[in-house]
Amino acid sequence: MPRFAANLTMMFGEWAFLDRFRAAADAGFAAVEFLFPYDHAPEVIARHLTDNGLSLALFNLPPGDWAAGDRGLAALPERRDELRAGIDPALRHAEATGVPRLHLMAGIAERSDPSAVAAYRDAVALVADRLGEKGLGLTIEPINRRGMPGYFLDDFAFAEALIADLARPNLTLQFDVFHRQILHGDVTMALRRLMPVIGHVQIAGVPARHEPDEGEVNYPFVFAELDALGYQGFVGCEYIPREETVAGLGWRDQARRTARSTG
């Protein structure tokens, strides 16, 4: 049975951010993830995790100015100093919260630009090495350009090749089923082939990005496949609830019942 982590950036929006930790725990989640913790001190995030008995699965390194349209800095050579400066705040939050891995966003750039490719490669290597010194993992995630126009890393094959080429033991793939289905399809065979380099999985219904009980992906089959492949990591629920978050959790409860009946 996958270990589900509620994404507090997208889920439980009926509550203020810090109140979402309690709401997730009350809804039966033992783990959470979110995009960015940097509006709150590390010890504040850590306290909300501890007080609610939650593990933290993942968060992102600083992405630049999100409100101004930045979606990461790694592929932007002119922003290298800013990327470097963001590593220490991320590490402080990681140390306080016990998160096992972080995600590095690539940014808005073209893969046809050799300077962007070189900058991204160097940035991933740099951040992986810095995080590795602290015993932390780093993930990179292909994201579809329909939802994030112009995003540099929009291809699973490119990500796979980079992970193999850099050969950092703490560098893995963030396999978001939502993005995989939109970009390439062939979710099951990709999971089977890429499982050795997958460090984190995320889910959402396709194409609307609501609960994983609607759309073109058969998630009960995907969950069974993850179990069959021996995936031990978290499955981040990075979806936008159709209505109230708790009212839409029937898919998770059904997955748990199915796991109990077949276990």
Q: What is the distance between the alpha carbons of residues 50 and 243, in angstroms, rounded to a whole number?
A: 28
Separation CA 116–CA 120 (nearest Å): 6
Tokens of 37: 């913790």
Q: Strand pairing partners for 201? A: 175, 235
Can you tell me the distance from the alpha carbon of 155 to that of 143, in angstroms, rounded to the nearest whole number?
8
Within 10 angstroms of residue 261's Cβ, the number of other Cβ atoms is 7
Active-site choice (78, 238, 243, 244): 238
Whose CA is closest to 91, among 132, 122, 150?
132
Query: Between vectors from CA 123 to CA 117 and to CA 127, what angle results, nearest 5°?
Result: 150
Set 141, 211, 214, 243: catalytic member: 141
Tokens of 192: 């089977």
Cβ-contact 154, 184 below 8 angstroms:
no
Give the span between the Cα atoms of 93 and 35, in whole angstroms: 13
Active site residue 238: yes
Name the packing angle between helices 187-194 and 156-166 (round to 10°). Answer: 0
The residue with tokens 């270990």 is 3
Cα–Cα distance for residue pair 83/231, rounded to 1 Å: 31
CA 218 to chain centre: 20
> Which residue's structure tokens are 């810090």?
18
- Catalytic positions: 141, 238
